A and B are shown apart, each in its own frame.
Chain A
């Protein structure tokens, strides 16, 4: 599986680069406009490349399962963020070089005489800068998620369309009808990717709704939603994967949030469960969801899943990060897998340990060891205390550490510390898996 993902990952990187660079080199096909200086041509090349990178952002966020599987959605969204900064940098440097090489461009003509190609360049760059500022400082600017997301999409469309109109309006390379058609076609393709994820996919989801069949309260202020497919067979997921859940409103609204499945992947009739902790935001509404309510699921997604060869599974969970681990444990129990499973489970206190009783019951069905690590242990507690670290691993795991398969899910700070500890213990990156869901 790992090798297949590596190959697929490499192929997708090549395809990505091809989509950026091939349309640029298509501009070199005859007939060619007159040659200009090196810096002017370099500036034009980074402008075109920047636009292609911006357009492909629609593809990165289109949630194509086949594309995202080799890395996981968290890596894709982080790449999306980083590459957007790079693309904006290229698009901004493009006019800076042009002004430096041809200062006469800075001499502003009268308002009505400004060429429309230049107007669209300004519109595109302004939209891009606004988009980046809003994306980087959304929380500080206190912009509600849904408003921010809609603005993000609108600004991205304006930026990409403005960039294309600037190129067409400047009438240099795109004077040639074939080259113009290629870049117009590419822009339509990029925006088509957005329409796919925002219109076509929700249409499919609308035809495949789920019904809440049970709302179960768990320890640790956590609620489990049990969902049955309504009029369709549902989908198969791998333990550890997640889906975007839309509880309130239609799938066309941008209100979906990613949650891991907590149920067994071996469950029949397409029934799925998600366990959600009340974190004070929209999650506080989850316990109020009525039985029978229609909800929508977009999934499954994620590369955080068992299936690679391993002598034992080491699951490291912090708080509600236990939900994908529960799916793995329940699935391994249902499959009769007899390989050892160790769950290192960090919680605040004894009473708030979600699934505490069920984990004890599951020990009878598979070779499971549960190590509770409590931040606030009760009086007389003799188990682990504080936070999970390298010393905790060494006390509970048999060497060699690099033979085990590790799965980490919890608060970001905890995941950073554990990834560092595993690195120091000589565990290769391919042997541990972590997914962060704070990508919206």
Chain B
């Protein structure tokens, strides 16, 4: 269960980073 918690934390980090990268690209293109 503890490792599952770490897995979920890593997954959530990945989702946040990818969503933020999309936001970054959008802000750049939208000017």
Which of the four size classes fits the interface of chain B? Answer: 20 to 34
CB distance from B21 to the nearest CB of A (A): 4
Whole-angstrom CA separation of A429 from B1 in the bound complex = 8
Whole-angstrom CA separation of A74 from B25 in the bound complex = 36
In contact, B21 and A49 (Cβ under 8 angstroms): yes
Whole-angstrom CA separation of A37 from B30 in the bound complex = 10
Question: Would A82 and B2 be within 8 Å (CB), given that A24-B20, A28-B28, A46-B18 are in contact?
Answer: no
In contact, B5 and A75 (Cβ under 8 angstroms): yes
In contact, A45 and B3 (Cβ under 8 angstroms): no
Question: Would A20 and B17 be within 8 Å (CB), given that A35-B29, A75-B2, A75-B5 are in contact?
Answer: yes
Closest-by-CB residue of A relative to B1 is A419
Chain B residues lying within 8 Å of A39, measured Cβ to Cβ, are 25
Selected contact of B3 from candidates A24, A35, A38, A75, CB within 8 Å: A75
Whole-angstrom CA separation of A45 from B25 in the bound complex = 7
In contact, A49 and B9 (Cβ under 8 angstroms): no
Whole-angstrom CA separation of A153 from B16 in the bound complex = 27
Chain A residues lying within 8 Å of B5, measured Cβ to Cβ, are 71, 75, 429
Selected contact of A45 from candidates B7, B10, B14, B24, CB within 8 Å: B24
In contact, B17 and A41 (Cβ under 8 angstroms): no
**Interface status of A145 (Cβ within 8 A of chain B):** no
Which of the four size classes fits the interface of chain A? Answer: 35 or more
Chain A residues lying within 8 Å of B3, measured Cβ to Cβ, are 74-75, 78, 436
In contact, A434 and B2 (Cβ under 8 angstroms): yes
**Interface status of A72 (Cβ within 8 A of chain B):** yes
- Bits for A421-438, please: 1 = Cβ < 8 Å to B, else 0: 001000001000011100
Q: Is the interface of B mostly helix, strand, loop or mixed?
A: helix
**Interface status of A195 (Cβ within 8 A of chain B):** no
Contacts of A1-45 to chain B: CB distance below 8 A = 13, 16-17, 20-21, 24-25, 27-28, 32, 35-39, 41-42, 45
Chain A residues lying within 8 Å of B20, measured Cβ to Cβ, are 21, 24, 45, 49
Chain A residues lying within 8 Å of B24, measured Cβ to Cβ, are 24-25, 27-28, 41-42, 45
In contact, A90 and B17 (Cβ under 8 angstroms): yes
CB distance from B12 to the nearest CB of A (A): 9
Whole-angstrom CA separation of A72 from B1 in the bound complex = 13
Closest-by-CB residue of B relative to A90 is B17
In contact, A35 and B6 (Cβ under 8 angstroms): no
Whole-angstrom CA separation of A435 from B1 in the bound complex = 11
In contact, B29 and A46 (Cβ under 8 angstroms): no
Chain A residues lying within 8 Å of B2, measured Cβ to Cβ, are 71-72, 74-75, 78, 434-436
In contact, A82 and B28 (Cβ under 8 angstroms): no
**Interface status of A79 (Cβ within 8 A of chain B):** yes
Selected contact of B10 from candidates A25, A38, A42, A83, CB within 8 Å: A83
Which among B7, B20, B27 has the highest number of chain A CB atoms within 10 Å?
Answer: B20
In contact, A35 and B31 (Cβ under 8 angstroms): yes
Other A-B contacts than A25-B24, A28-B27, 11 sampled, CB-CB below 8 A, are A24-B21, A38-B29, A41-B25, A45-B20, A49-B17, A53-B17, A78-B7, A79-B6, A86-B14, A419-B1, A435-B2
Chain A residues close to B by CB (< 8 Å): 13, 16-17, 20-21, 24-25, 27-28, 32, 35-39, 41-42, 45-46, 49, 53, 71-72, 74-76, 78-79, 82-83, 86, 90, 419, 423, 429, 434-436
Chain B residues close to A by CB (< 8 Å): 1-3, 5-7, 9-10, 13-14, 16-18, 20-22, 24-29, 31
